[in-house]
Amino acid sequence: MARLPLLRLFSLAIRQLLRDARAGELRVLFFALVVAVAASTAIGYFGARLNGAMMLRATEFLGADLVLEGSSPAREEQIRSGTELRLNHAQVVEFSSVIATDNGIQLSSIKAVDRAYPLRGELKSAPAPFAVEVSGGEPQPGEAWVEARLLTALDLKIGDSIDVGMKTLKLTRVLTYEPDRAGNFYSLTPRVMINLDDLAATGVVQPGSRVSYRELWRGEPQALETYRQLIKPGLAANQRIQDARDGNRQIGGALGKAERYLNMASLVAVLLAGVAVALSANRFASRRFDASALLRCLGLSRRETMVLFSLQLTALGLLAALSGALLGWLAQLGLFALLHDLLPSDVPPGGVFPAIAGIGTGLVALAGFALPPLAALGRVPPLRVLRRDMLPIPSSTWMVYGAALGALGLIMWRLSLDLLLTFALLGGGVVAAVILGGLLLLLLNSLRRLLARASLPWRLGLGQLLRHPLAAAGQALAFGLILLSMALIALLRGELLDTWQNQLPKNAPNYFALNILPADKQAFTDHLVNVSAQAAPLYPVVPGRLISINDEAVQQIVSKDSAGDRAIQRDLSLTWAADLPAGNKLTAGEWWKDQPGDEIPGVSV
Per-residue pLDDT tens digits for 16-26: 778 777 766 77
CB hemisphere CA count around 421 (13 angstroms)? 12
The top-scoring range by mean pLDDT among 14-28, 308-322, 471-485, 513-527 is 308-322
Report yes or no on 66 lying in a domain. Answer: no
The pLDDT tens digits for 182-214 are 655 455 688 999 999 999 898 888 776 788 899
Residue 215 has pLDDT above 60, yes or no: yes
Report yes or no on 112 lying in a domain. Answer: yes
**Is the domain of 40 the same as that of 94?**
no
**Is the domain of 265 the same as that of 189?**
no
pLDDT of residue 64: 87
Report yes or no on 156 lying in a domain. Answer: yes
461 compared with 168, residue with greater pLDDT: 168
Q: Of all helices (H) and strands (E), which one includes residue 101?
A: strand 88-101
Mean pLDDT, residues 580-592 taken together: 77
Residue 316 has pLDDT above 80, yes or no: yes
Band of pLDDT at residue 401, cut at 50, 70 and 90: low
pLDDT of residue 3: 67
Report yes or no on 458 lying in a domain. Answer: no
Mean pLDDT rounded to a whole number for the chain: 78
- CA 196 to centroid of chain Cα atoms: 38
Residue 592 has pLDDT above 60, yes or no: yes
145 compared with 588, residue with greater pLDDT: 145
71 DSSP 8-state letter: S
Mean pLDDT, residues 566-587 taken together: 75
317 compared with 462, residue with greater pLDDT: 317
Report yes or no on 539 lying in a domain. Answer: no
Band of pLDDT at residue 1, cut at 50, 70 and 90: very low
**Domain boundaries, position 155:** 88-218
Taking alpha carbons only, the member of 272, 234, 196 closest to residue 39 is 272
**Is the domain of 124 the same as that of 196?**
yes
pLDDT of residue 416: 61
Distance CA(237)–CA(568), nearest Å, equals 7
pLDDT of residue 396: 57
306 compared with 466, residue with greater pLDDT: 306
95 DSSP 8-state letter: E
Report yes or no on 394 lying in a domain. Answer: yes
Percent of the chain beyond pLDDT 90? 13
Question: Is residue 543 within 8 Å of 572, Cβ to Cβ?
Answer: yes
Domain count, the chain: 2
pLDDT of residue 92: 93
Taking alpha carbons only, the member of 569, 573, 510 closest to residue 543 is 573
- In degrees and rounded to multiples of 5, residue 394 shows phi and psi of -65, 150
Question: Is residue 515 within 8 Å of 509, Cβ to Cβ?
Answer: no
**Is the domain of 349 the same as that of 394?**
yes
* Alpha helices in 175-248, H assignment, sequence order: 199-202, 221-231, 244-247
Residue 52 has pLDDT above 50, yes or no: yes
Last residue of a domain, one of 402, 417, 432: 417
> Is this model's pTM higher than 0.95 or not?
no
**Is the domain of 207 the same as that of 257?**
no
The pLDDT tens digits for 55-91 are 777 777 788 888 999 888 899 999 999 999 999 999 9
The pLDDT tens digits for 29-39 are 888 888 888 88
Mean pLDDT, residues 142-165 taken together: 89
Last residue of a domain, one of 376, 399, 417: 417
The pLDDT tens digits for 444-481 are 777 777 766 667 677 666 666 666 666 666 667 666 76
First to last CA, the chain: 85
The pLDDT tens digits for 252-271 are 555 566 666 666 666 666 77
Residue 527 has pLDDT above 50, yes or no: yes
CB hemisphere CA count around 215 (13 angstroms)? 24
**Is the domain of 408 the same as that of 287?**
yes
**Is the domain of 44 the same as that of 106?**
no
Distance CA(592)–CA(159), nearest Å, equals 55
Amino acid at 227: Y
pLDDT of residue 435: 82
Q: Which residues of 47-76 are buried (b: 16+ CB within 10 A; e: fewer)?
A: bbbbbbbbbbbbbbbbbbbbbbbbbeebbe
**Is the domain of 213 the same as that of 268?**
no
Band of pLDDT at residue 600, cut at 50, 70 and 90: low
**Is the domain of 392 the same as that of 293?**
yes
Preceding omega of 372 cis (within 30 degrees of 0): no
Residue 554 has pLDDT above 50, yes or no: yes
pLDDT of residue 216: 93
- The string of DSSP letters for 44-64 reads HHHHHHHHHHHHHHHHHHHTS
Residue 53 has pLDDT above 90, yes or no: no
- In degrees and rounded to multiples of 5, residue 104 shows phi and psi of 150, -170
**Is the domain of 272 the same as that of 198?**
no
232 DSSP 8-state letter: G
pLDDT of residue 246: 63
Report yes or no on 461 lying in a domain. Answer: no
Residue 497 has pLDDT above 70, yes or no: no
pLDDT of residue 90: 93
The pLDDT tens digits for 96-123 are 888 878 778 888 889 999 999 988 888 8
Mean pLDDT, residues 156-165 taken together: 89
Report yes or no on 512 lying in a domain. Answer: no
Looking at 50-54, 182-186, 258-262, 374-378, which range is the least confident one?
A: 182-186
pLDDT of residue 538: 81
Distance CA(359)–CA(321), nearest Å, equals 5
Question: Is residue 70 within 8 Å of 91, Cβ to Cβ?
Answer: no
Residue 399 has pLDDT above 70, yes or no: no
Distance CA(599)–CA(576), nearest Å, equals 16
Last residue of a domain, one of 399, 417, 435: 417
**Is the domain of 123 the same as that of 268?**
no
What SS3 state is found at 548?
strand
**Is the domain of 124 the same as that of 31?**
no
Distance CA(352)–CA(310), nearest Å, equals 27
The top-scoring range by mean pLDDT among 315-329, 426-440, 520-534 is 315-329
- In degrees and rounded to multiples of 5, residue 157 shows phi and psi of -140, 160
Question: Is residue 117 within 8 Å of 64, Cβ to Cβ?
Answer: no
2 compared with 491, residue with greater pLDDT: 491
pLDDT of residue 170: 92
Band of pLDDT at residue 249, cut at 50, 70 and 90: low
